[in-house]
Amino acid sequence: MLIGGRFASSAQRMRFEREVEVVAALRHPSIVTLYESGVSRRGEPWFAMEYVEGRPLTRYLGAAAELPLSAKVGIVRQAAEALAHAHERGVVHRD
C-alpha cells in the first residue's frame, strides 16, 4: 500500500502509480511479478506482488562463508541479470 494512503500527496500518488506500471511491465525470472493493483474502498492505493518463499538475502549472505565460490557467483549473476533487464527498459532501481 502507498505510505500515507488516501492522505498521500498527488506527487506521491503519481510516483506510486508509475512504479506499478513499470514493475508490471518487467518480465524476468529474478524479478517478482506484479499481479494486480487498485484502490481500496477507503481510497488507499495498493498492489499485489508475487510471494517468494525463502530467507532474506541479508540472512542468506550471512551464511555466505559456508557457500562455495560458484554459489556466490551465481547469486551475484542472478541479481546482475535482473538489474540489466530493468536497465534495458529504462528502469533504475532506487532501493
- Model pLDDT for residues 64-79, shown as the tens digit of each residue: 667 888 888 888 899 9
List CB contacts of 50: < 8 A, sequence separation 6 or more: 32, 33, 34, 35
Q: What are phi and psi of 18, to 5 degrees?
A: -65, -40
Q: Give the Cα separation of 29 and 27 in Å (integer).
A: 7
Reported as a single tens digit per residue, the pLDDT across 14-43 is 988 988 998 898 999 999 999 999 998 988
Annotated active-site residue 95? The verdict is yes
Reported as a single tens digit per residue, the pLDDT across 43-55 is 889 999 999 998 7
pLDDT value of position 34: 94
Hey, what long-range contacts does 15-21 have (CB within 8 A, 24 or more apart)?
A: 16/45, 17/45, 20/47
The residue annotated as part of the active site, out of 50, 53, 66, 95, is 95
Q: What is the rounded average pLDDT for all residues in the chain?
A: 86
pLDDT value of position 6: 77
Burial class from Cβ neighbours inside 10 Å (0-12, 13-18, 19+) for residue 50 reads: exposed
Read off the pTM.
Answer: 0.72
pLDDT value of position 77: 94
